[in-house]
Structures are given as C-alpha cells and as structure tokens.
Amino acid sequence: MKITVTVNGEEYERDVEPRLLLVHFLRDDLDLTGTHWGCDTSNCGVCAVWLDGVPVKSCTVLAVMADGKNVRTVEDLERDGELDPVQKGFTECHGLQCGFCTPGMLMTSRWLLDHNPDPSDEEIRVAISGQLCRCTGYENIVRSVRWAAEHPTTWDLQEPDVTV
C-alpha cells in the first residue's frame, strides 16, 4: 500500500506491506532508530512516539494507520543543537541507566510537560506508567521530569503544536 506520512516535519511517501508495524517503518524504512523495539505486545512502552500529537506505542500501530498523519519521534526533541529539557533532565538526574526505555520515557514525559508544565510527582508517575524501566526504580526518572519542568526552554513556553 502507498502511504504518505509526515515524520518529524518531513513528508515521506512509501509503499509498505499492510501488516508493517509503525515501529519497523520508522526504524527500517526511515532509519530513525531512536525509537526502540522491545516487546511487540505494547507492554514495555520503549517504542512510544506521537501520532497526531498523542503518544502511542508504535509496536501496536500499523504503518498504514499513519497514512496522512504526523509522527514525532525522539529524534525530534533536540532543536538547533540544543537538547530538550527532558533530555537534559535525564542526564542531570541520572534518569537512565541502560537507556533502552529512554526514548519512550522521553516522548511520554515531553507530552506530559506540554500539557501540564508543573505536574506533581504522582502525575508524572501516572503519565509514565505505560513505560517499563528494568533498571532505575523510577525515582530518578521522576526527578528528571521534575528537573525538566523547572528548566523550560523558550520553545517550552510556546503553545504546543498539537493536532488531534
């Protein structure tokens, strides 16, 4: 099937198998390997991306379902050489260890802060509850998101460009 999808602001047109998962389309067809592939069952959340402004687990979305839509991946967090505050927070507060869950955590956390710039620790925990981290125990991840909330950049202070 022929699909046209905008990924990180760039439009792509490709012929894909109808059964191709979005995670594989991003990784294998577009070489965007920042989105990790973990469980293929939507349990771990490492493959989280935004589909028309909403976080989804790309292992449960077919690429053809993204036809005509906007996808945002972890590669799009950095702007003009400057890391997103969530990325900085994960570095500053040791929010990652092995790094496998990090792309999904970053995308989910960025979405949370775009919709709630000052979340409580409980709201952070609820937002990331669909992501599994096997290393950290989540304390440093929550601290990382809190750090990001306390250190917004100029683009954080703008209205999010969300299409729903």
> pLDDT (tens digit, 9 = 90+) per residue, 26-68?
999 999 999 988 876 777 888 999 999 999 999 999 999 999 9
Say what the pLDDT of residue 38 is.
Answer: 80
Q: How far apart are CA 162 and CA 111, in angstroms?
A: 10
Is the domain 85-150 a CATH 1.10.150.120 member?
A: yes
Q: How far apart are CA 21 and CA 64, in angstroms?
A: 8
CATH number of 2-74, picked from 1.20.58.390, 3.50.50.60, 3.90.1150.10, 3.10.20.30: 3.10.20.30
> pLDDT (tens digit, 9 = 90+) per residue, 70-117?
999 999 999 888 999 999 999 999 998 888 889 999 999 999 999 999
Q: Cβ–Cβ contacts within 10 Å for residue 14, how many?
A: 15
Write phi, then psi, for 112 (nearest 5 degrees): -60, -50
Quote the pTM value: 0.89
For the chain, the domains span 2-74, 85-150
Which residues is 15 bridged to in the sheet? 2
